[in-house]
Amino acid sequence: MKIVHFSECGGGVERYLQMLIPRLEDKGVKQVLICSQHFSMKNFPSMADSFYKIYVEQSFSFFKILKVVQAVRKILLEEKPDIFYCHSSFGGALGRLASMGLACKVVYNPHGWSFNNKEAGSLKVGIYVFIERMLARKTDRIVTISSFEKQQAIDFHICDVSKLIVIKNGLEIDKYLQHKPSDISKEQGIPADAFVIGMVGRLTVGKSPDIFVRMAHLLVNTIPNAFFVMVGDGEEREKVESLILELNLGNRFLITGWVDNVYDFINRFDIAVLLTRWEGFGFAVAEYMLSKKPLVSTNVGGIPDIVKDGWNGLLIDSIDEKTAASAVIAEIRNLIETYEVVRSEHLISAGELSSLLVDHCRPITEIQRVSHATVVLPSPNANDKTRIVRISGTRPNLRIADGLFQSFIEGRYSYTYTYSPAVLTALLNSPSFHLERLSLAHQCCISTDSRGNVEIRGEYMGVHATHALATQEPSLFGEVPLTDGAAHALASNRCHLTVACEGATITPEPGEKSVYVTGTAEAVRKALQATQTAVANLAARYVLIPVDTALLAYVIGTKGRRIHQISAECGASVEVCTNNAVLVSGNPLAVKSACEAVEQGLKETQELNAVLRPPAEVLTVFLATYRDLLKQWEREYGGKVTIDEPRGLVRIHGDTAESARGLRYVIESMLEAVELEEEKDDRPRIVPLAPAGDNEVENDRSYDLWNLVTTSKLDHAQRIESLLGLDRAI
């Protein structure tokens, strides 16, 4: 097999190819690379079997585009690949134009859809979408690097779903672990005591390097020892360098250009930032996380797939320097809380130490598992003064571990487990879970209630042993899941589940989508098989199809005509349930036919109709601005737009599927424009921390702490530790 790769842009795409090409080579795939002047060509000539470099300029000039298309097509005619793999939006467009009429299969990876650019106007977005739709017809498979990117392709009707496949980007973790990071501070001119805030990415408009520089200008007033690093290069470099000089930040900035190993620089970061305007996956974010760096990123594209706001990073919705600066400050404060190591110590008796060491320190293992803290025991031979148990961890985890340890020292533990009523019944009927016997054997107090709760109280080891017995009885009960249709039919008494099996009890739990089987081990095994068969028969006879509230009217038809028509034609009962769903029941063949008819009706309805639910304030402004244009849009696209102000709904009905999509797109664009305008007006105003001596913060303890750490000459780890103890020192 022979693959020709073509890419116009460098950066993340370049690193993607650096990982992909060697691995395909190992599988015996012959590879050819066509790239632009934006690639830093050090390794590729030795990786690929053939290598071509052409000049590609991002321009809509017909003659410039034609020149590149002709150059790529000439290479394709010479190489005759089996697969032509196009990377990035612009490169993908040029490559697919060049491949038209050729025998090779065409694969396209946008690495982030161009129409996701929030800065682009509705006209540009429309053009990008149109181009992607047209070229998708000449594409055999489209690779998306995140589930978000795939969903965007579906929402914008780029292509048939069957052409889409999600293959998330990866990182060379082994290479990272084997790499010994070098100290680049001296050779790059980074001060030893600097608090480094950095970004990795191409210096292009999409990565917002100008916003990063303006953010830096705000942060230098707050962080006296701040230093900023931009790892990458691009067409915006000259503009960025001019802006740095304009804001008098020349002695606080480093632009590295392309580097061989970004991790050498990331390891020096104290805070990692990515202010991208649109993103398919975000290579840089994944690299930040691999390096365990606190990060701030924009909430765009596939980034929310790997970054959970407030958990493993901070996400910002607004791409402006004030919001970014505020988020960096918040992340630094979060860094102080999250990575803080605090300690608690307990002096224990010889008897307590012996109890802790019983059964391979099981109590300590359990405390660490529950709290995620570290518990260190003294030596078994420790004397009276050295029997100190040390507990360490973050503040929240330490509090949990300390409470559990205190409970252990006091000798009383309590566990509560919740089971379904059927499972609890099986446990209580089990000889091994006999309450009285367990209570006597392990000196525990065991109690139950009607809600399925089992509480076990007593000495730690007794509680642990009791719990072990309780969880070792899986053969006493089983569970068979119900389909939505079967569960609804049983709950509404339309049918009954009848399974006869001696020694077992079969119970459909009210309000649950399961049937529980309890009894002896052998009886449960046989009953489960019979129950699964019975449930499968119910599932074939009762099918529940969920329907959006706004589409119910279209599904039912005028005076229920559509529902009655399907019922009569298919020979099955079709009815609308109170939970916004359609229940289809009858013999399996009739049910299958009726379900297909209902789903087809839903599909047609969804193609011709849409319901939008904008915020009330957005709808109000939209009507005040665009109400007079609604009739014009209806005439242009063909359809009807109905505004339900009391409910806050915009109903769209198209004469054809195409007109419905057109109407929906133009109205969604206008609503989005109104919403963005409203957000600009309500944008929070960020006020950086004032410099020392300001009367408003002169007595603010938090500022004193902050000032102390940022002006410290200690290394990063020591600075963090010192922060942890500041509240005790001041």
pLDDT in tens, 99-116: 998 989 999 998 878 887
User: Which secondary-structure segment (H or E) carries 376?
Assistant: strand 374-376
Strands 164-166, 141-144: parallel, antiparallel or unpaired by DSSP? parallel
Given a cut of 90, whether residue 413 has pLDDT beyond it is no
Q: How does pLDDT run across 236-254, given as a tens digit for each residue?
A: 899 999 999 999 998 899 9
**Percent of residues, the chain, with pLDDT higher than 70:** 70
SS3 for 571?
coil
Q: What's the confidence (pLDDT) of residue 458?
A: 63
Please give the mean pLDDT across all residues of the chain: 76
CB within 8 Å of 468: residues ≥ 6 apart: none
Nearest CA to 520 out of 531, 504, 507 is that of: 504
Q: Where are the alpha helices (DSSP H) in 205-269?
A: 209-219, 237-246, 263-266
Average pLDDT of span 88-103: 90
Q: What is the pLDDT of residue 135?
A: 92
Residue 228's pLDDT is 94
**Is residue 199 within 8 Å of 274, Cβ to Cβ?**
yes
With 80 as the cut, is the pLDDT of residue 155 above it? yes
Please give the pLDDT value at position 717.
Answer: 42
Higher confidence at residue 606 or residue 144? 144
- Edge to edge, the sheet with strand 388-393 lists 342-347, 388-393, 374-376
**What's the confidence (pLDDT) of residue 75?**
92
pLDDT band at 704 (very low <50, low <70, confident <90, very high): very low
- Give the pLDDT mean for 142-155: 85
β-bridge partners, 198: 229, 272
Residue count of the chain, please give it. Answer: 730
DSSP lists the bridge partners of residue 195 as 226
User: Is there a contact between 242 and 250 (Cβ–Cβ < 8 Å)?
Assistant: no
Identify the pLDDT of residue 462.
55
Q: Give residues with Cβ within 8 angstroms of 713, minimum separation 6.
A: 193
Q: How far apart are CA 723 and CA 708, in angstroms?
A: 9
- Please check whether residue 270 is in contact with residue 716, taking contact to mean a CB–CB distance below 8 angstroms: yes
Best-predicted range by mean pLDDT (79-88, 119-128, 337-346, 438-447): 79-88
Q: Is the pLDDT of residue 519 over 70?
A: no
Give me the pLDDT at residue 245, please.
92
Top mean-pLDDT range of 105-109, 187-191, 396-400, 424-428 = 105-109
User: Which of 79, 111, 127 has its CA nearest to residue 14?
Assistant: 111
> What pLDDT score does 714 carry?
39
Identify the pLDDT of residue 698: 37
Ranges of H-type helices in 261-420:
263-266, 283-290, 303-306, 321-338, 350-357, 362-371, 395-410
Confidence at residue 106, expressed as pLDDT on a 0 to 100 scale: 93
Q: Is the pLDDT of residue 520 over 60?
A: yes
Q: Where are the beta strands (DSSP E) in 140-261?
A: 141-144, 164-166, 195-200, 226-231, 253-255
**Of 460, 463, 462, 435, residue with least CA distance to 447:** 435
Write the DSSP assignment of 453-487 as a string of letters.
Answer: EEEEEE-HHHHHHHHHHHTT-GGGEEEEE--HHHH
Res. 338 pLDDT band, cuts 50 70 90: very low
And the tokens for 651?
């109903």
* Structure confidence by residue, pLDDT tens digits, 194-215: 888 999 988 888 888 999 998 8
Q: What is the mean pLDDT of residues 536-551?
A: 82
Closest to 108 in 3D by CA, of 1, 2, 6: 6
In whole angstroms, give the CA distance from residue 317 to residue 114.
18
From the number of C-beta atoms within 10 Å of its C-beta (0-12, 13-18, 19+), residue 351 rates as exposed
Residue 503 pLDDT exceeds 50: yes
Q: How far is 507 from 512, CA to CA, in rounded Å?
A: 11
Query: What's the average model confidence in pLDDT over 684-709?
Result: 37
